[in-house]
């Protein structure tokens, strides 16, 4: 429990006792339960926030929960492509992934980014293991058919961008049962052994459904879901989210995030949290305290 002691080292003893007492019912309630965490945004690029995230994941494991981390890596892929003199091209927010770009995506996500996260978690006292969708035949994918947003009769070719066909979570379950923390890169494989780049939010949402996770947590660079006045909506039902889609409150970059989150909430994941990864220890605060640090979408 040294991690918790370190995390609380700058806090007055009375406040410290209050924090631990408040965490207890949550620790009890979620003991033995699976939490799927999508790790991205500032939390992934700011060194202090990286360390906080790793400590949070290790602490959740130590108190008996089963965290599974799924990570993105857009900025890191962009940097690597620029080094090679390649310009990133996007269609409707999706990266066009030709064969050369796919190679870069694989070595950045499954190499550099994944190993950084594994190293951080191990340094914080956990036992992390890196996986891609190829390991254990986990993520079968096919080419994503992208129809034009304005004219559905037009189809855009975005290359090796994948759509999930199926997920076999047995390798993740085997690692969880053995006290390891799985760290998953969002790369799938097709029927001819070709690789596919898949949206990390989509992978996290589908994996949470297949694992029967208690919670899906998406770390973002926003406070959560905001209403039209810019105020944070902390607690929403799946039905209320449908209404926010319909009236255009949710749009732009939030759409793919919320779509996956909504599907997870409707498919048995008890709660989906969209939280601000720029807040130190946001993950721990959201799961182990009464205070809302983002938007929670309830399954009903």
What DSSP element (H or E) covers 70? strand 66-71
Provide the pairing of β-strand 146-147 with 139-143: unpaired
Say if CB 38 and CB 73 are below 8 A apart.
no
Spatial distance between the Cα atoms of 17 and 8, rounded to a whole number of angstroms: 10
CB atoms within 10 A of CB 103: 14
278 is in an annotated binding site: no
Q: What is the 3-state secondary structure (H, E, C) of 47-59?
A: HHHHHHHHHHHHH
10 Å CB burial of residue 150 (0-12, 13-18, 19+) is exposed
Say if CB 162 and CB 196 are below 8 A apart.
yes
Task: Order across the sheet with 66-71: list the strands.
Answer: 128-132, 181-185, 66-71, 34-39, 215-220, 271-276, 294-298, 235-237
Helix-then-strand count for the chain, H and E: 11, 16
197 is in an annotated binding site: yes
**Taking phi first (over 0 means left), then psi (-120 to 50 degrees means alpha), and beta for anything else, what does residue 41 get?**
left
Which sign does the torsion angle of CA 109, 111, 114, 117 carry? negative
Spatial distance between the Cα atoms of 70 and 272, rounded to a whole number of angstroms: 15
95 is in an annotated binding site: yes
What DSSP element (H or E) covers 39? strand 34-39
The three-class DSSP label of residue 207 is helix
Provide the pairing of β-strand 195-197 with 187-189: antiparallel
Instruction: Pick out the residues of the known binding site.
Output: 73-74, 95, 197
Instruction: Pick out the residues of the known binding site for substrate.
Output: 73-74, 95, 197
């Amino acid at each position: 429990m040294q991690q918790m002691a370190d995390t609380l080292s700058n806090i007055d003893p009375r406040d410290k006792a209050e924090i631990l007492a408040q965490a207890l019912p949550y620790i009890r309630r979620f003991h033995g339960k699976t939490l799927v965490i999508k790790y991205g945004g500032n939390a992934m690029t700011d060194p202090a926030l990286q360390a906080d995230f790793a400590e949070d994941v290790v602490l959740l494991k130590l108190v008996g929960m089963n965290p599974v981390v799924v990570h993105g890596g857009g900025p890191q892929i962009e940097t690597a492509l620029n080094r090679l003199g390649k310009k990133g091209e996007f269609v409707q927010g999706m990266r066009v992934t030709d064969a050369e770009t796919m190679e870069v995506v694989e070595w950045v996500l499954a190499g550099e980014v994944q190993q950084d996260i594994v190293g951080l978690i191990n340094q914080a006292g956990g036992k992390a293991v890196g996986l891609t969708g190829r390991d254990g035949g986990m993520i079968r994918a096919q080419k994503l058919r992208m129809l034009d947003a304005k004219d559905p009769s037009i189809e855009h070719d975005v290359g090796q961008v994948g759509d999930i066909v199926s997920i076999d979570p047995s390798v993740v379950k085997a690692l969880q049962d053995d006290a390891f923390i799985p760290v998953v890169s969002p790369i799938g494989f097709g029927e001819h052994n070709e690789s596919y780049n898949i949206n990390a939010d989509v992978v996290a949402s589908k994996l949470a459904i297949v694992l029967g996770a208690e919670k899906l947590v998406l770390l973002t660079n926003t406070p959560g879901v905001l209403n039209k006045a810019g105020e944070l909506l902390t607690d929403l039902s799946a039905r209320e989210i449908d209404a926010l889609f319909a009236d255009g409150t949710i749009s732009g970059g939030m759409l793919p995030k919320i779509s996956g989150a909504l599907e997870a909430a409707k498919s048995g994941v008890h709660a989906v949290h969209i939280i601000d990864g720029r807040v130190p220890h946001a993950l721990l605060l959201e799961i182990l305290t009464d205070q809302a640090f983002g938007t929670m979408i309830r399954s009903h």
